Amino acid sequence: MSQVRTRFAPSPTGFIHLGNIRSALYPWAFARANQGVFVLRIEDTDVERSSQEAVDVILEGMKWLGLDHDEGPFYQMQRMDRYKEVLQQMLAQGLVYPCYMSTTELDALRERQMANKEKPRYDGTWRPEPGKTLPPVPEGVQPVLRFKNPQGGSVVWEDKVKGRIEISNSELDDLVIARPDGTPTYNFCVVVDDLDMRITHVIRGDDHVNNTPRQINIFRALGKEPPIYAHLPTVLNEQGEKMSKRHGAKPVTQYRDEGYLADAIVNYLARLGWSHGDDEIFSRQQLIEWFNLDHLGRSAGQFDEAKLRWVAQQHMKTADDALLSTLVVQQWQTSGIQVPADLPGSDRLQAMCALFKDRCATTVELADWLGMYVAPVSASADELAAQLNDANRPAVAALAQRLATVAWDKAAIAQALKETLAEFGLKMPQVAIPVRLLVCGTAQTPSVDAVLALFDREAVLARLKG
């Protein structure tokens, strides 16, 4: 088999959301799984609705998720000359023909067909046939170019998701492939691009299934075999509607800003329409090893925030602490926290990440937790009043005294705690909870000796004074 070449061909007409970027993830994963080539093509011919900001979100989102392309980005607007060249060639070969039917005539035709309960379609008035006399060319009318769709027979393809699809050619009228001003239309550009870019597998949303038989006919007219198609079912939002910006879908980059790990999003999206046995949690490397087109889901995937958080948590647990440190520093900087100069890149920051990451789904949450190490804390006055009283205040003070001189590590801190509990005949929570409230601002933390050891001794002593 020839080298696998896939593409992602987004239209930059809105901010790309998770549902859309899944159509980038699958062709990317398939290319990577097969040592293939992944091409990025920006379909920007809808000039009114396309925007640079939307292109930027696509590029940024793909970069963040690590969906690196090998070729492109190619912009369709920069390929107009090429499309026109192919149009001329097709005209010369008699594969397309000029049609002078005006919009008024087309409307009238449609109305007649509807009145007769027929499917509205172009009736072939200007289609040249041997022995047929065409109407006189009207003056001053710029024609459109129509593709001479085969008559009779049908278009068949084995869709990797939907199975065998057969569309009778009688369902397809002669498609307009160039407008009166000579600009090529959508389906035609896609075919020229997929041909020129030597795409072997088209993996895209199933909103394009209706275009596929038309595109296949154009391929064949050009003497080429079409690629293999895999049409992915829609992604639904939590309400069961098609995921869309209109229905509140967030731009992909927002998940980055909310602190999700790229690998978690990749894992989540991969499972939203593809499976590898019962595996729910996998790494990018495993995805690349396992991904194929034989286990694509046939039914629509539904976005589920709770599941996304769960997947994100699993990835946080195993995430590399050096990576987490970098992301936490970024989050702190974004929220205007002064980061002590010795912390970024330090073992201590990595140890903080290791200690707290289990309880987080995002690096925003992790940065929040670790905020106790870089910014003042304040426990709720009520909670403090309830937990710190005459019974344990002397013990907290005695602990502070011990901590002033012990070696500053987890074992020594644990020992100091133990001695203090013994001295006052108290149980661990009776001292550990007020200590946590004073030092960390919250009573729920990992093991208190481990948490304290990552503070500066002076900071702990100052906070214990209340």
Interacting residues with ligand GLU (CB under 6 A): 9-11, 43, 190, 204-205, 208
Does residue 52 sit in helix, strand or coil? helix
Task: Compare residues 10 and 213 and give the one whose CB is closer to ligand GLU.
Answer: 10
**Which of 372, 369, 351 is closest to 435 using CA atoms?**
372
- Written as one string, the DSSP assignment of 13-48 is SS--BHHHHHHHHHHHHHHHHTT-EEEEEE----TT
> Closest distance between ligand GLU and the C-beta of residue 10, in Å?
5
CA 257 to centroid of chain Cα atoms = 13
> Which amino acid is residue 407, in one-letter code?
A
Q: Which residue is nearest to ligand GLU (CB)?
A: 204
Q: In what order do the strands lie in the sheet with 96-99?
A: 96-99, 144-147, 176-178
> Closest distance between ligand GLU and the C-beta of residue 463, in Å?
54
> Closest distance between ligand GLU and the C-beta of residue 384, in Å?
56
Distance CA 10, CA 43 (A): 6
Task: Compare residues 251 and 434 and give the one whose CB is closer to ligand GLU.
Answer: 251
**Are 406 and 371 a contacting pair, CB within 8 Å?**
no
> Closest distance between ligand GLU and the C-beta of residue 264, in Å?
25
Task: Compare residues 84 and 208 and give the one whose CB is closer to ligand GLU.
Answer: 208
The C-alpha angle with vertex 254 and arms to 251 and 255, in degrees rounded to 5, equals 110
CB atoms within 10 A of CB 128: 12
Q: How many residues does the chain have?
A: 466
Distance CA 418, CA 423 (A): 9
Task: Compare residues 204 and 256 and give the one whose CB is closer to ligand GLU.
Answer: 204
Q: List 96's β-bridge partners, or say none.
A: 147
> Closest distance between ligand GLU and the C-beta of residue 263, in Å?
25
> Closest distance between ligand GLU and the C-beta of residue 205, in Å?
6
Task: Compare residues 204 and 315 and give the one whose CB is closer to ligand GLU.
Answer: 204
Longest dimension (CA), the chain: 112
Task: Compare residues 11 and 237 and give the one whose CB is closer to ligand GLU.
Answer: 11
Task: Compare residues 194 and 449 and give the one whose CB is closer to ligand GLU.
Answer: 194
> Closest distance between ligand GLU and the C-beta of residue 220, in Å?
17
> Closest distance between ligand GLU and the C-beta of residue 193, in Å?
9
Task: Compare residues 247 and 418 and give the one whose CB is closer to ligand GLU.
Answer: 247
Distance CA 137, CA 335 (A): 68
Q: In the structure encoding, which two tokens stand for residue 272, read together?
A: 């939203």
